[in-house]
Chain A
Amino acid sequence: MFSLNIYHVLLLSVALRIGFFIFGLYQDKYMTVKYTDIDYLVFSDAASYVQYGQSPYQRETYRYTPLLAWMLVPNGWGENWYSFGKALFMASDLVTGYIIVKLLSGSNKLSSNKVVVLSSIWLLNPMVITISTRGSSESVLTVMIMASIYYLVQKKNIVFSAFWLGLAVHFKLYPIIYLPSIMLYLARDGIPFINLPILKLVTTRNISFLFVTVFTIAGLNFVMYQIYGYEFIHHSYIYHFIRLDHRHNFSVYNIALYYKSAISEQVQNIENFAFIPQFLISAVAMPLAFAQRDLISCFFLQTLSFVTFNKVMTSQYFIWFLIFLPHFLSKSNLVTKNHAVRGVFTLLLWIASQATWLYFAYHLEFLGVNTFDNGLLYSSIFFFLSNCWIIGQFTISLQ
């Protein structure tokens, strides 16, 4: 009987991506609703500005590091090159999957069947494939994060790991939440400078890691600032702190933000304090509870919490924690026979709560039905509380 091995999964994952990509070309050409993500057009436009020696920030709504625009310069080399970026994102997506496979096979002593099944969660996941083939750049970031983990956990190479994390933080700010976990993780085996409670957590290993990460971030930011000036700082970083994202998205804060944006006077509301539960859980509580126990599972829980409590949440953000899901499930009892019902319920709850929100969002976005107050508000809360419950289940499911 034919059974899938990891090479089959990898081949199938390549074939699926090519298939989705070709279908996307067809849909873009012949259908009213386009396959290609709006962001891909933004990246491409920004890249064409770069190609002609201009700033990528001349493109409205380009709010990323210039590195991304640089990477996509070939998009502007002619019609046949326009999909270069998508190819790059698909390749990054596959590299991420490959690192997931390496990590699963390297450290967990899992059977090859389990590696096949777990890695398929990423490699054969239609959501992951759709996101990269539509032209979202998240997979470039996931490569950086997974590379950092790979060098840290498997290769024990602090410098390379720290470099990749620094690059990831430069690319998008949120991976900075992994730093506290890594500091704690490295404190486990390092030699402390001072052997006193708490202070003994400061070791040569984690200080070296911190130094290289900060140096990488600072170096890249310095170079970009030299080239693009304040607009780089504003669009890449400041904007994300000051934005009032009023357009509907999964975030529990979203409808409150819409109402807040509509009042002229300055008021204190829950959104002003949003960072407190977000950082308390994702950057403090989770690292303290899990970093030394299982670093990658800790990353998973941190990222899931970070996204759940974020002021903006779109489905692309799910990619951020999906990269860790295969590893996490290898350590969770939710996939064991004894807890299978709870595991299935958790999955169904996540899907159902998300589908509820999508139902109301679709009615607003494409049918013009007013669903702000009784649909989106309560469904975003339902999704948020479901996520919180799921995070709770995940935390106690770690074996």
Chain B
Amino acid sequence: MIRQRTTIFNPTKTHDDIVQNIDKSSFSIKPSTDKFLIENKFTIPVSVSDPFGKYKRIESLRIQTTDDSFKEDTIFNYRFSSGVNIYVVPKTVESNEDREEFYQEVEQLVSELLPIEVKKDNWIKVLNSLHFHDYLPRELNVDILRLGGSEELFKSKNYDLFYEAGTGVILKQLGLAWPEINIGLNETIHKEIGLFLTDEISSPEDIVLSGVRVIISVEQDEENIFKTFFHVKPRHRYSQQEINSHIVDNGLHPILRTTFHGVGLPQDIDVKECNLYYYLSLNKSLIFDIYQSVPQGAELVLNYGSKDLELPEYKIDEWGNEILFEFSNASAPHHIDFTLHSRYQLPNNESEVTEVLNSLPRLFYGCNVKDDYLLDKSPFDTKLKYGGNYEPYFTNDTVFYHLNHDDQSKVLVHVPNGTSSFDRVNTISTIAVLFGTFIVLVQILRAVLKTKAKAVDVNKKTQ
């Protein structure tokens, strides 16, 4: 049976008047504000259904998408680069045919799930998988998952899908629980619903959730309602600092500037030591020059993706680069300037500039903490074998203190492009070259004739 875990987070201090109905076959709530969050987690074991079973070459696939619309969320933590992030791992590849087959399967599977086409050469190799990123968040086509018509499934641009061959598929999606939630019995889905708020005794490093759990399932026997109180040690936390990232226009060398407001070194009692990190999924239209553009005070930790520093955008196959900087001084600088270089864009006679939108950089303090074994005990922990942007580059005892961007933050670069046509430019250039060649050859001829005339004059005079 498919398992559905629906977690509703109540951001207020009380559950009073929230719950409208609870019984064996239904659960209804009416949130008091539009800040309630709901996360659905669907687990589809292979024993029930194997929607990806026909893809024989894929070992694992993870798709994480966010539109950054839940900045205040402290529980579910969809803290990855805004847009679509795909990670894929092949099964053992023994020949070129296997490799080609794998890429064909991936292309087909991705196109079934998302309205994008990812070709073999678009992927970049990262730590332990292949990675693709697109700054535009897109909804997932869940038809392929055959979720038994779950009534709670909603359209979302905040989700995390994980597939592992032989195990199954897990899909998590995050949304607003508003204006009301009604969950009923479904014969093919085992539903576990939780309604929680953070208890007064909570602290940022130890969140205590209290509320109620309800099981709605044909398999459930007698008791199905449980008062619940549990502790979560979150891996993702929030710094008090707010940041702004924007492009400082500088022609073909735009500067991505991030400024910091306030100071906010992590102060939680379990924190041992911290460093500031800067993670960016960089569009292929922009060049990161590893030799000259590492921001002041930073050290380059990794740079996966295209290394070419010259080619135009249309000659680069990879989607872009994944970049991580570490700032040696734990406290945040006043601002970070990251100089980029624009690649030439395809000529376009409809517009003088190409707009390049890029995901915002992720800035966070990475800190070692005490009692780190509790981190992955959290039912909301996001760290998995593959994916998570920056997560796999950090040890298991690391927590991330995120610096949230303000609403004005945007990475938008305008790159001028040609507006004419090849034929026109080629014709004009050809005429110029022919005319120039003619000028030079005529003058050379004149010079030669002049010299000969002079020589004849000299001969005549000497005779």
Q: Give A residues with C-beta under 8 Å from B.
A: 38, 41-42, 45, 59-61, 246-247, 252-253, 255-256, 258-263, 267, 269-270, 274, 277, 280-281, 285-286, 289-290, 293, 305, 308-309, 364-373, 377, 381, 384-385, 387-389, 391-393, 395-396, 398
Contacts and interface: CB of A to CB of B under 8 A. Distances in A.
Contacts of B425: 255-256, 259, 373, 377
Contacts of B307: 60
Contacts, number: 162
Given A61-B310, A261-B315, A262-B422, A368 B432 contact: no
A180 to B, nearest CB: 14
Given A258-B312, A370-B416, A372-B420, 10 more contacts: A60-B307, A61-B310, A262-B346, A274-B433, A308-B436, A368-B252, A368-B414, A373-B419, A392-B443, A396-B447
Contacts of A270: 426, 429-430, 433
B344 A258 contact: yes
Contacts of B429: 252-253, 255-256, 270, 377, 381
B452 to A, nearest CB: 11
Contacts of A261: 312, 314-315, 344
Contact of A364 (B249, B252, B435, B437): B252
A396 B446 contact: yes
Contacts of B430: 269-270
Contacts of B415: 368
A247 B418 contact: no
A368 B414 CA distance: 8
A201 B186 CA distance: 98
Nearest to B314: A262
A246 B312 contact: yes
A369 B415 CA distance: 9
Q: How large is the interface on B (under 10, 10 to 19, 20 to 34, 35 or more residues)?
A: 35 or more
B251 interface: yes
Contacts of B451: 293
9 contacts: A252-B432, A259-B347, A261-B344, A262-B347, A309-B437, A364-B251, A377-B428, A392-B439, A395-B440
A-B interface, 7 closest residue pairs, ranked by CB to CB distance from nearest: A392-B443, A370-B416, A388-B436, A366-B251, A259-B422, A395-B447, A370-B352
Interface of B: 249-254, 291-292, 307-310, 312, 314-315, 344, 346-347, 352-353, 414-422, 425-426, 428-430, 432-433, 435-437, 439-444, 446-448, 450-451
Contact of B426 (A42, A269, A285): A269
Given A60-B309, A261-B315, A395-B444, A372 B419 contact: yes
Contacts of A309: 433, 436-437
Contacts of B448: 289
A41 B418 contact: no
B432 A247 contact: no
A368 B421 CA distance: 21
Contacts of A277: 433, 436-437
A262 B309 contact: no
Given A261-B312, A286-B444, A384 B436 contact: yes
Given A259-B347, A261-B315, A270-B429, A367 B422 contact: no
A211 B421 CA distance: 48
Contacts of B291: 41-42, 45, 59
Contact of B310 (A247, A280, A305, A364): A247
Nearest to B439: A388
Contacts of A377: 420, 425, 428-429
A370 B354 CA distance: 11
Nearest to B252: A365
Contacts of B433: 252-253, 270, 274, 277, 309, 384
Contacts of A38: 292
Contacts of A389: 439
Contacts of A263: 422
B250 A366 contact: yes
Contact of A260 (B310, B422, B444, B446): B422
Nearest to A388: B436
Given A45-B291, A385-B432, A256 B426 contact: yes
Contacts of B253: 365-366
Contacts of A384: 432-433, 436
Contact of B444 (A289, A364, A367): A289
Given A281-B437, A293-B451, A393 B443 contact: yes
A280 B249 CA distance: 45
Given A384-B432, A392-B443, A369 B416 contact: yes
Contacts of A381: 428-429, 432
Nearest to A61: B309
Nearest to A305: B440
Contacts of A387: 436
A280 B291 CA distance: 40
A370 B249 contact: no
A367 B425 CA distance: 23
B428 to A, nearest CB: 7
A370 B252 contact: no
A365 B251 CA distance: 5
Nearest to A243: B310
A365 B352 CA distance: 15
Nearest to B454: A399
Contact of A281 (B249, B308, B312, B440): B440
A385 B352 contact: no
B443 A373 contact: no
Contacts of A290: 447
Contacts of B315: 261
A285 B432 CA distance: 20
Contact of B440 (A42, A59, A274, A392): A392
